[in-house]
Structure 1
Amino acid sequence: MRGTDARRTPFVGHSTGLDLHALRPISRVESRLHSMAEPKTRLPDSRVTPRFAGLCSFGRYPLLTDLPDVSTLDWAIYGVPYDSGVTYRPGARFGPRSIREQSQYLKRYHLEHGVDVCEVLSLADAGDAPAPPYHPKQALDGVIAFADALPTNARLLALGGDHSIAYANIMATWRRLGSPDEGLAVLHLDSHLDTVDEVWGEKYSHASPFVRLVEAGAIDPRFMMSIGIKGPLNAAADLDYGHDAGINVVTYDDWKLKDGDRRIRDFVRRLERRPTYITFDIDCIDPAYAPGTGTPSVGGFTSAEALILLRSFAGVNVAGADVVEVLPDRDVAGNTALLAAHVAFEILALDAISDR
């Protein structure tokens, strides 16, 4: 897309009937834009095409199918409208659509990191993976096949969907890195450990993705940290798998009241440049801030705390990511989906400031 004339290119949401010459930005904005490098991701001009108009891609990024050249694509963002892995309240299959809708007001410049994400990264919305709701393993294998077909040079950001879809996106991420023997490192933000072997005889639920991934060799549990764990457990034995496998656990109380913040910083330093996957379950947020989720647990991060925590991962080599468990039917004024969209942007910004 480098060098493309914005006046002739119908970006996502662009109204071709408008005369851009008659609606040019004010001069001070124009002069600033001329001083910037050519962006790798071209966005519709919000002064021409309102953010509430046009097709609803994530962040108003171009659709993958509209890119003339995908060889330099940095991130493929796709939805997984699937929630047959839930153990309580369904509805996260509508999450990708809701997150995209709330992402329309995302902007390109990250204030705290001081980076124009769209200038540095080539980003595209790849649509939704096919995920029929009837057979969990078959559905997740279909998601893997969809992700495998995306440009191999791009990193994968999946919008869920329930947390079982992390199994698919992590497997696809691991495979496109050559299935390294050491597996991926994982930064896991969640209320729940998600290390139950099976639920009601099903091994591919949102309670078990990390057990399956450890079995496959796709992640290294010694380089996995689960952050924000909170609320009551079914039994003390729920802690056994993670303890035996070597998963690092920082509860919300550890982070808020004890030495959890130091432990997280030490862990991030230990990762160095190891490929690391970030999986963000929205229920790690206090439901007072993010009520739209299927298995809420009282307490937890505020929205601001979660964003600040994500920014502390600066320097991590982000190999892939997901944002999951947004349930629009329980959302209030779109708050949860709006936060999920910003979480996704924070993750992209981590890559934008990273030296690959």
Structure 2
Amino acid sequence: MMRLPYLLLIFLAATPTFGREIAFPPISGYIPPLDHNRAQQQILNGNDDGAGLFQEYTPFAGLTTFANLPFVHCLGEGEVERYDIAILGAPFDTGTTARPGARFGPGGIRQGSRRISPDAAWSVYTGENTFLSWAKIVDCGDAPLTFLDNTIALKQLDYSHKKIVGRKANSTEYTTPRILTLGGDHTTTLSALRSTFQAWGAVSVIHFDSHIDTWDPEVLGGGISHYAGVNHGTFLHIAHEEGLILNNSMHAGIRAPVIRKKGDIRNDLRCGFEMVTARELDRIGTDGVIRKLKDRVAGTRAVYISVDIDVLDPAYAPATGTAEVGGWTTRELLTILDGLAGLPVIGADVVEVAPAYDNVGETTVLAAAEVAHSLLTLMVKQPVG
């Protein structure tokens, strides 16, 4: 027992750094490594207040915007800083027919995106960085919506979209800004489609979901009131009735049952949709799904992509209002989205994220953040003026 200190001294004496000034390894950031080592030693010696270690930016510091993007008060009065793509939160969940909680979706998706750094987001698949493209991308925060009156809240969301799209873009070539909406329940897509119609006219919709969402308000809402008929399962029916979407739109990932044996599918076709069911992927693969989606919207001037996170199986996205088993994996969905490169995507959303039902690993919000990242990539790939 008495020999242990002696052996320890022999070990320390043989160590190259014993009795010398320790040179700490550099950390990442904007401080040059040599300066950083000197600054750390100064702090240890009590000769510096830490200013030499200051970093202008780290992914987990400051306000939580999507992917650590700059915040712009896009809904403010007068001139604001220009942008090409705006991230807009839609904290609304009183149009859901199942579990509420998606009003916290925008915050949850932003939380899931905190690991994404705009200057360090180079794709290993494409070698590209969406945030360093031609487009100036900003986070506009959330639309201020009342949670006590759906009719008023949707009018407020309509106004928010209209104001953001109505500003001048930063780019001189592509003059109209576009929006990526973070939901919120799926009712919020109706406001987004109204704003895209304002700027680009009727669009083809690629709708990733486990539900068709073209139900007649008389069926889903029971014909009780107009208020009850506007919800997350009827918004595509309403969008068709308002002339916002074209008749070459497409569902992807459908697997939930319908209410009427034949009537709901007939109405879905009338609203301009065809579908790829969730299980078709097992037969035709991701390439087959991509091909069917692209063929359906071929020749369209403008495409809108809406992703209900429940298109994923609950194993990959438990935090959603109306979960349906038998869905796609996160990898499959991201592969399909990336395969849509080349389409003229002028707007998109990720909706139905309800963080209260997520697990401790934040599986759903991490998936939703990466889906949003993929949608931004599509929006800069084939821009439309």
* Same fold? TM cut 0.5: yes
What is aligned with 2:188?
Answer: 165
Residue 209 of structure 1, CA deviation: 0.7
1:257 aligns with 2:283: yes
For 1:223-242, what aligned pairs fall within 5 Å after superposition? 223-236=248-261, 237-242=263-268
Residue 273 of structure 1, CA deviation: 5.3
Residue 299 of structure 1, CA deviation: 1.1
Deviations 1:30-70 (A, max 9, x none): xxxxxxxxxxxxxxxx9653322111111110011399964
Deviations 1:269-298 (A, max 9, x none): 442452100000000000011100010000
Greater C-alpha Rg: 2
Q: Which of these residues, 166, 176, 179, is aligned with residue 156 of structure 1?
A: 179
Q: Which of these residues, 336, 342, 345, is aligned with residue 318 of structure 1?
A: 345
1:300 aligns with 2:327: yes
Look up the SS of the partner of 1:316 in the other structure: coil
What is aligned with 1:196?
Answer: 215
Residue 244 of structure 1, CA deviation: 2.9
1:245 aligns with 2:253: no
Distance 1:25 1:284, change over 3 A: farther
Q: TM-score, normalised by structure 1?
A: 0.81
What is aligned with 2:141?
Answer: 127
Distance 1:325 1:174, change over 3 A: same
**In 1, are the aligned partners of 2:345 and 2:383 still within 8 Å (CA)?**
no
For 1:1-356, what aligned pairs fall within 5 Å after superposition? 23-25=30-32, 48-65=56-73, 70-71=81-82, 73-107=83-117, 108-120=121-133, 121-150=135-164, 151-152=167-168, 153-177=176-200, 180=201, 183-198=202-217, 199-200=221-222, 201=224, 202-220=228-246, 222-236=247-261, 237-258=263-284, 261-262=287-288, 264-269=290-295, 270-272=297-299, 274-332=301-359, 333-354=361-382, 356=384
**In 2, are the aligned partners of 1:110 and 1:349 still within 8 Å (CA)?**
no
Distance 1:346 1:133, change over 3 A: same
Aligned length: 311
**Matches of 1:248 and 1:85, distance apart in 2:** 24
**Matches of 2:144 and 2:179, distance apart in 1:** 16
**Matches of 2:108 and 2:289, distance apart in 1:** 34
Distance 1:266 1:233, change over 3 A: closer
CA RMSD of aligned residues (A): 2.3
**Matches of 2:144 and 2:238, distance apart in 1:** 21
Structure 1 stretch displaced more, 146-155 or 313-322: 146-155
Look up the SS of the partner of 2:141 in the other structure: strand
The code of the aligned residue for 2:337 comes to L
The code of the aligned residue for 2:155 comes to D
The code of the aligned residue for 1:103 comes to S
**In 2, are the aligned partners of 1:23 and 1:48 still within 8 Å (CA)?**
yes
Residue 336 of structure 1, CA deviation: 0.5
**Matches of 2:271 and 2:94, distance apart in 1:** 27
Deviations 1:195-221 (A, max 9, x none): 11221432210011101101111111x
Gaps of 5+ in 1: 1-21, 28-45
Distance 1:176 1:51, change over 3 A: same
**In 1, are the aligned partners of 2:73 and 2:80 still within 8 Å (CA)?**
no
Deviations 1:240-282 (A, max 9, x none): 2112333111101122225885364144144245210000000
Look up the SS of the partner of 1:278 in the other structure: strand
**In 2, are the aligned partners of 1:160 and 1:325 still within 8 Å (CA)?**
yes
Residue 149 of structure 1, CA deviation: 1.2
Gaps of 5+ in 2: 1-28, 35-53, 169-175
**Matches of 1:101 and 1:25, distance apart in 2:** 30
